Amino acid sequence: MSVITHRTVKTNGIHLHIAEAGQGPLVLLLHGWPESWYSWRHQLPALAAAGYHVVAPDVRGYGQSDKPWEIEAYSMKQLLADCTGLLDALGEKTAVIVGHDWGAAMAWTSAALHPERYRAVVGMSVPHLGRAPMPPTQLFQQMFQDTWLYILYFQQPGVAEAEFEADIPKALRTIFAGPPGYDPMSPIVRAKKRSDGYLTGLDAPATLPAWLTEEDLAYFVKEFSGSGFRSGLNRYRNMDRDWHELPELATTKIHQPALFVIGEQDPGRAFAPIEPMKALVPHLREPVIVPGALHWVQQERPAEVNAALLAFLKGLPT
């Protein structure tokens, strides 16, 4: 089995911690919220064994990477510059970019705006929907009206941080393994009042699902005990800024080979449909819908996800 090694690299004026394995063409793996490089623990050795140089950073604000304080430091423009700078630091002209959750948004946007650096793209759990017709927070207020929505709850600095950091082990246990508080269609979420928090009405399960061991959870808890939640939440606070800063996403298509992977039971399927993506990503392969998986698809079903990734990678032009 390929050994995962760790180091720190400088990019875009900050330091990123990266986990890496293998040698060969570069595959960049980007995690989402609230995660870390560790979310790719099953993919790193599998892709390395197949002949790829696999790199999974702690995205800025997470784990052992730098954590700028300013909200605007987490704009999509800054995150994209981190990625291209990481390629430069690794001495690579191009890579296949793979992302999950917010990492998927980073991957899609990177492929759209820097096609010369990314020869193919894979998004997991979050499809590419281009540019919204209005700033996202306004759109969500229109769409969900009186329904509590986690994205809107996350907008006020300090509020969600205080809730999660009051008991980090319980918060992460609930987010990963409890009822999905990110599902606006859930009866639990629909019953919430505007003043409620993310964890209101959600129970932390006594027993974890098979895909997440107590040791896995302890790793995430350790990382967030060191970093806190502010930086990761600041990504949500840049959604409107991104809309203003990246108007080109309204018309730019992704022409590289592309793959979308999502869990069969991911609540996002209800309000972020796949079909509109096909016009924006003309070379999208047949989407992979992973049976039985929820949102944390590459952790929940690593064998199926690894198989999908390797089939996609092996089918790319050399």
- Name the token pair of 229: 């939640």
Q: Is 295 a catalytic residue?
A: yes
Contact assessment for residue 62 and residue 231, using Cβ atoms and an 8 Å cutoff: yes
Query: How many CB atoms within 10 Å of residue 199?
Result: 19
Q: Is 42 a catalytic residue?
A: no
Select which of 58, 66, 82, 101 is catalytic: 101
List, edge to edge, every strand of the sheet that includes 26-30. Answer: 5-11, 14-21, 53-57, 26-30, 95-100, 118-124, 258-263, 288-290
Interhelix angle 214-227/168-177, nearest 10 degrees: 130
Residues known to be catalytic: 101, 295
